[in-house]
Amino acid sequence: MAGIAPGKAEGQGGDALLRLVADNVPALIAYYEPKNLSCVFANKAYAESNGWTVDSIIGKTVREAIGEKAWLMIEPQVARVLKGERVDYVRPMNLPNGEQRVIEVHLIPHFDGQAQMLGAFVLITDITRHRLAERSVRESEERLRKFAEATREGIFFHKNGVLADVNEALLQICGYAREEMIGTKVLEFVPPEWHLTMIEFMRREREEPYEAEIVHKKGHKIAVEIAAKTVYVNGEAQRLGALRDITARKHAEARIHYLAHHDMLTGLPNRAYLTERLTTILALARRHGTLVAIMFIDLDNFKTVNDTLGHHVGDALLKEVAARIKVVLREADMVSRLGGDEFLVILADFATPEDAGKVADKLLQTISAPIVLECHELYANASIGISVFPRDGDNPEDLIRHADAAMYSAKDHGRGHSRFYTPGLSSEGAEMMAREARLREALQLGEFVLYYQPQRSVQDLRLVGIEALVRWRHPERGLIDPSEFIEFAETRGLIDEIGHYVLREACRQNKAWQQAGFDAMPISVNVSAVQFRRGDLVAAVTRVLDETGLQARYLELELTEGLLMDTEIVGAALAGLRALGVTITIDDFGTGYSSLSYLKRYPIDKLKIDRSFIGDLGTDVDDRAIAAAIINLAKTLNLTALAEGVERQEQLDFLRAHGCDEFQGYLAGNPVPAEEFAAFARP
């Protein structure tokens, strides 16, 4: 029978067809009669899986057919069938080849019309594969859960927006207990402003990650990144989502954004941010037809402060200035630091350009009020250039450039002022660069020369000293006064080189005069505050004296009062110079803003009364009083008093009457080139 092909079965008897079917279904089939429990029918699979053939198994009892071990296992089930019960059970089965299978057994009693049991069908299916599949599903679910619990990502399932399952991490992130979350709507854990986004992602079954927020049980929002996808569980669509707390990343991003847009020192927006904002502000102004003013603010004396007091004081000054600017501005305005000592203000809330001018004046006033930093009293004067939208430009670049040009123009026309942009100014920036380049060239070409002015004794008009005054001998423009380039050189960092040239040349000339047999006397050299930088002035002076062979007592340095802010660097430099034996003079005394205490504190030898007090000595009561007071002060402190700018005899008479020691001015002699000075010096 085993060899019968399906085709041959046709036309054969019912037994043959039954046999054909029975041997080809994937099941084990047998039939036992109830009296002796002997086998009446078995298909091939049943017989062979018990170690028989279809023929040899016939007539065997169940016990014989399946073996002793299996019999013990099924005996109770057989008893139940014999009572007429249908029995289904699952049991392991050992195949003759030793293979282990799991089978599902159905024992079905067979009755005749009178409920008389005729036999029992045995139907066995091999469910080993199902079992394995089931187990693997269970294991994979287990693995998945373990994985879900191990990850720090919050994982959730929801069906139609109602949470079906969540992992431990999600509970941790949200602060809820599992039973509080499961069965609750997803949106209850989401702030209202994110509802639309989430619904959109759910509805469209979008799977790309997106950023949103959820609400912690305590009420605070948590930034999260969510990625969800639709999965089918038992044929039902569910959303499986993973969510990660990105608070730290958000903070880092915000910090990076802040860093990219702000100046670290002052905390003000930086140029990048300002340009960005300005674009928006201009767009609004264009729509509303309003004005916007751009103010370019530059501190006039910042470099000096930085150089003489050190960077920490410079930094503190910038912070203070930033704070002061903010105080003046309104909510709608904005200030940023462009770097260095440059600030840029956007004024958005004003009616006429004149109003902007008034704000600029207020800024100047506020900035210039004394600032006390680490016991130093500082003055931060500023110059402001203003450009107005739409009059002076319609884009950020032009407006800033024009405000910058106006600022340079303001500086040029005397510091501490504000100036509006006017067409034609814009070339000034380029002009500055050209000017600086030309000045450097002048240094290299040796176009700077010294003029010398005599200083005489008030008592007997005897020549007692010489002041060296620098001039620029310009090949086309002729002789240019220092007022035209010293301040410019200071702001452009050129004064060191010019100053060094002057110092060396003055010392060399004085030594040359001495060697030529003229009376030895001190030569005065004007020193810019900037030259006090890092205290290397003492070293420079030492070197120059060395190189020229001039004795220190024949060199006098003139410092302006402004420099004498109470600082360690200046103090140390002055002490160093005094130790060398160099004389120290305060130039333009009475015009600066320093306190008098430094006169006692610092090693100072001479006061030069500023020529503004000398000019009207004949007529102005105040000037007479001031000049007299300075002479007295000098006497009290044991300092030499020298009057500058003495042009007329009556001035000299006044000075003589009040006991002034020395004088300088056209009355004593104009500044002249070295060759001509010999006439004054000749005994």
Inter-residue contact 182 to 167 (CB < 8 Å) = no
* Least spacing, CB of residue 675 vs ligand C2E, in Å: 18
**427 burial class (0-12, 13-18, 19+ CB within 10 angstroms)?**
exposed
Q: What is residue 56's three-state secondary structure?
A: coil
Minimum distance, C-beta of residue 549 to Mg ion, in the bound complex (Å): 24
Q: Of 331-339, 458-466, 475-483, 566-574, which segment contacts ligand C2E by CB under 6 A?
A: 475-483
Q: Quick check: 455 binds Mg ion (CB under 5 A)?
A: no
Tell me the CA distances in angstroms from 18 to 6, 42, 43, 470, one per residue in order. 11, 11, 10, 131
- The first and second tokens of residue 100, run together, are 């282990």
CA distance 31 to 22: 12
Residue 222 has which token pair? 């948590």
636 binding partner (options ligand C2E, Mg ion, none; Cβ < 5 to 8 Å by kind) = none
**Partner whose footprint covers residue 65, from ligand C2E, Mg ion, none (CB < 5 to 8 Å by kind):** none
- Return the residues of window 600-639 that contact ligand C2E according to CB under 6 A: 611
Q: Which residues contact 58 (CB under 8 A, 6 or more apart)?
A: 39, 40, 41, 42
Q: Which does 671 bind (CB under 5 to 8 A by kind): Mg ion, ligand C2E, none?
A: ligand C2E
- Taking the complex as a whole, how short is the minimal distance between the CB of residue 508 and ligand C2E, in angstroms? 14
Q: Position of tokens 């054909």? A: 20
Q: Say if CB 459 and CB 515 are below 8 A apart.
A: no
Residue 119 contact among Mg ion, ligand C2E, none, beta carbon within 5 to 8 Å by kind: none
Closest CB to ligand C2E: residue number: 665
Is residue 109 part of the contact set for ligand C2E (CB under 6 A)? Answer: no
* 588 binding Mg ion? (CB under 5 A): yes
Q: Least separation, in Å, of the C-beta of 584 and Mg ion?
A: 12
Single out the residue of 582, 505, 578, 575 nearest to residue 551, CA to CA. Answer: 582
Annotate 210-221 with b (16+ C-beta within 10 A) or e (fewer): bebbbbeeeeee
Q: Which of 170, 242, 502, 573 binds ligand C2E (CB under 6 A)?
A: 502
CB of 528 to ligand C2E, least distance (A): 4
**482 contacts which partner out of ligand C2E, Mg ion, none, CB within 5 to 8 A by kind?**
ligand C2E
Compare residues 22 and 559 and give the one whose CB is closer to ligand C2E. Answer: 559
Q: Measured in Å, how far apart are the chain's first and last C-alpha atoms?
A: 155
Partner interacting with residue 486 (select from Mg ion, ligand C2E, none; CB below 5-8 Å by kind): ligand C2E
What is the spatial distance between Cα 620 and Cα 355, in angstroms, rounded to a whole number? 39
Minimum CB separation from ligand C2E for residue 448, in Å?
8
CA separation, residue 110 to residues 33, 34, 113, 115 (Å): 9, 9, 10, 9
Does 336 engage in binding with ligand C2E (CB under 6 A)? no
Number of residues lying near ligand C2E (CB under 6 A): 23
Closest distance of CB 527 from ligand C2E, Å: 6
Q: Site for ligand C2E (CB under 6 A): which residue of 29, 317, 400, 469? A: 469
The count of residues interacting with Mg ion (CB under 5 A) is: 5
| Least CB distance to Mg ion at residue 560 (A) | 8
> In a 10 Å sphere around its CB, with 0-12 CB exposed, 13-18 middle and 19+ buried, how is residue 120 labelled?
buried
Q: Which of residues 641-680 bind ligand C2E (CB under 6 A)?
A: 644-647, 665-666, 671
Q: Which stretch binds Mg ion (CB under 5 A): 366-374, 378-386, 525-533, 617-625?
A: 525-533
Residue 388 Cβ, how far from ligand C2E at the closest point, in Å? 36
Which pairs from 185-191 meet CB under 8 Å and 24+ separation?
A: 185/161, 186/156, 186/158, 186/161, 186/162, 187/161, 189/214, 189/215, 190/214, 190/215, 191/215, 191/221
Minimum Å distance from CB 506 to ligand C2E?
Answer: 8
For residue 585, give every residue at least 6 positions away whose Cβ sits within 8 Å of its Cβ, in sequence order, or none.
Answer: 524, 556, 557, 558, 559, 604, 605, 606, 607, 608, 642
Question: Which of ligand C2E, Mg ion, none lies near 253, with the C-beta cut-off 5 to 8 A by kind?
Answer: none
Told to check if 280 binds ligand C2E by CB under 6 A, we report no
Give the integer Cα–Cα distance in Å for 631 and 602: 18
Give whichever of 298 and 588 is closer to Mg ion, judged by the CB atom.
Answer: 588
Q: Which of 510, 526, 548, 651 binds Mg ion (CB under 5 A)?
A: 526
Nearest-CA neighbor of 379 among 564, 506, 606? 564
| Least distance (Å) between residue 453 CB and ligand C2E | 6
- Least Cβ distance, residue 652 to Mg ion (angstroms): 17
**Closest to ligand C2E by CB, 566 or 644:** 644
**Phi (first) and psi of residue 453, to 5 degrees:** -120, 135
* 436 contact choice in ligand C2E, Mg ion, none (CB below 5 to 8 Å, kind-dependent): none
Q: For residue 52, what are its two tokens?
A: 């028989």
Cα–Cα separations (whole angstroms), residue 488 to 59, 435, 437, 495: 127, 9, 12, 9
Please identify, using beta-carbon distances, which residue of 106 and 611 lies nearer to ligand C2E: 611
Q: Quote the CA–CA distance of 571 and 526 in Å, as a whole number.
A: 18
> Nearer to ligand C2E by C-beta: 436 or 647?
647
Extract the tokens encoding 75: 């005996």
> By CB under 6 A, what part of segment 573-602 binds ligand C2E?
587-588
CA distance 556 to 538: 13
* 443 lies in the binding site for ligand C2E (CB under 6 A): no
Binders in 540-559 for Mg ion, by CB under 5 A: 558
528 binds, among ligand C2E, Mg ion, none (CB under 5 to 8 A by kind): ligand C2E
276, containing H or E segment:
helix 271-288
Binding-site ranges for Mg ion (CB under 5 A): 526, 558, 587-588, 644
Per CB under 6 A, residues contacting ligand C2E are 453, 469-470, 481-483, 486, 499, 502, 526-528, 558, 587-588, 611, 644-647, 665-666, 671
